[in-house]
Amino acid sequence: MKSYNLLFAVLLVLLGGCYPQGPEYTEEMDIVFTTYDEQYDFTSKSTYAMPDQIVVDVDIENGDTSFVYMDAKYAIPILNEIDENMLAYGWSKVAINENPDLLMMPAGLSSTTYFYGWWYDWWWGGWYPWWGWYYPPYYPVVGSYTTGTLMMVLADPNAAEDNPVKQTPITWLSASNGIFNYSYDVTRVTDAIEKSFAQSPYLNID
Amino acid sequence: MKKVLFIFSICLIASVYTFAQSNHFGMYYSIAFPTGDVGEYISKPSFRGVYFDFHKTINENVGIGLSTGWTVFYEEKAEDTYTIENNSLTGKQYRYSNHVPILASGVYYMQPDQTINPFAKLGIGTIYTRRNTDMGQYTYELEAWNFALAPEFGVQYSVGYESAVSLSLKYFAGFQAGNELDASQSYFAINFGFVY
């Protein structure tokens, strides 16, 4: 009977090991989400304006607010990719003071998550007379991952007049999310921009 | 239905303790093939499954007991765009469908004294299903507890005193339920294992 119990224990461990693992590479975690205002008539518009920098953070020091911008070596290819896609869909880029129909506003966000190697604690917990959850007598394993999101928003500045709180309504929003790896491969971001437009054919005014 | 199951369970437990003659414990590796709604969600068969059962024989042909186990179906979908109303999402999708049946079962052994002993089993109980659709760092989870019937046909080959290897075909029919996953959740399984 003891050998059967051992067999049972081995089987359980093997079971844990054979659970499907899902994504193997960080690129496989990339997703692109878009949504739009179904009532908005994009075909009656033709021009857009876009800033030449991408905001990634806001610093507030002694009551003064200043923006933190993305490094130009990443921002320029991203902004170029947005322009290329807008151009391909028939839009003309104008300066902000030339009364654009829409404003394209890209922004970058990042967030780091820390986690504990809890499985390690659980595994070794079995060796102690008290079974279960406990804090180990050594520093736990800590890991982290950083996720990045590129937001793109198309807003109609002229529609603010018709808005009860005088805010510019968002007509289109894209959020591309992924996990950073150490190569900071900007093509993952430019690919995501391409996909954002590909899945938004209603932006095509050609 | 809950009342019926409760009475059935009480009768079963009572009968196990009243008429018990010998115990049999089985462990099985399982290959499963999805059908119906499960098959539409994941088309690939599962090679990840394990089942356990415990039976007490009430005479040499008939046994009653409990069985449980786990099958997980998994499929990695190529990158695609999924659109619902005015929202679109592009990415790779990872689909998981976990099934844990918990069944009271009865077994009829056709040739209990022979080396080759065909048998028929019927399980009744529930199947817990958890379906996860993962995209990026997000998961969309749906659960169901389906009332279930599980007919099984197989054969045991005796390899020693009170021990045998077993090969069987089992159909897990999880009937439609009013849970998050409201369609029936069913699959076929080929179980290969050891009984002692």
Residue B85 forms part of a structural domain: no
What integer pLDDT is reported at residue B169 of this predicted model? 97
The fold for domain A29-203 equals Double Stranded RNA Binding Domain (3.30.160)
Highest mean pLDDT among A111-120, A131-140, B153-162: B153-162
Residues whose CB is less than 8 angstroms from the CB of residue B153 and which lie 6 or more positions away in sequence, other chains included: B118, B119, B120, B121, B168, B169
Contact A199 B134 (CB under 8 A): no
Query: Which of A18-22, A75-79, B92-96 is predicted with the least confidence, judged by mean pLDDT?
Result: A18-22
- Tell me how far apart the alpha carbons of residues A177 and A187 are, in angstroms, rounded to a whole number: 13
- With contacts defined as CB-CB under 8 Å, which chain B residues touch A35? 86-88
Answer whether residue B84 is part of any domain.
no
| Nearest by CB: B137 against A29, A32, A34 | A29
The total domain count for chain B is: 1
Q: Does B108 touch chain A (CB under 8 A)?
A: no
Task: Please state which of the ranges A20-29, B84-93, B117-126 shows the lowest mean pLDDT.
Answer: A20-29
Q: Is residue B49 part of a domain?
A: yes
**Is the model's pLDDT at A160 over the cut of 90?**
no
Structure confidence by residue, pLDDT tens digits, B114-156:
899 999 999 999 999 999 999 887 888 999 999 999 999 999 9
A67 versus B74: the higher-pLDDT residue is B74
In this complex, do A22 and B76 lie within 8 Å of one another by their Cβ atoms?
yes
CA gap A64, A45 in Å, rounded: 37
Whether B164 is covered by a domain: the verdict is: yes
User: What is the structure's pLDDT at A185?
Assistant: 77
Q: Domain with B116 in it: what CATH number?
A: 2.40.160.20
Task: Answer with the residue of higher pLDDT: B8 or A50.
Answer: A50
State the Rg of chain A over Cα. Answer: 25
Q: Where are the beta strands (DSSP E) in chain B?
A: 22-35, 49-57, 62-84, 87-109, 116-135, 138-160, 163-174, 185-195
d(CA A138, CA A128): 15
For residue B60, the enclosing domain spans 2-79+90-195
* Confidence grade of residue A30 (pLDDT, cut at 50, 70, 90): confident
Residue B95 in any domain: the answer is yes
pLDDT digits (tens, 9 = 90+) for A140-158: 456 667 778 888 999 988 8
For residue B36, give the nearest of B144, B123, B122, B121 by alpha carbon: B144
| Residue B35 CB-half CA count within 13 A | 12
Q: Which residue has the tokens 């908005």?
A: A40
Say whether the ipTM exceeds 0.95.
no
Between residues B179 and B101, which one has the greater pLDDT?
B101
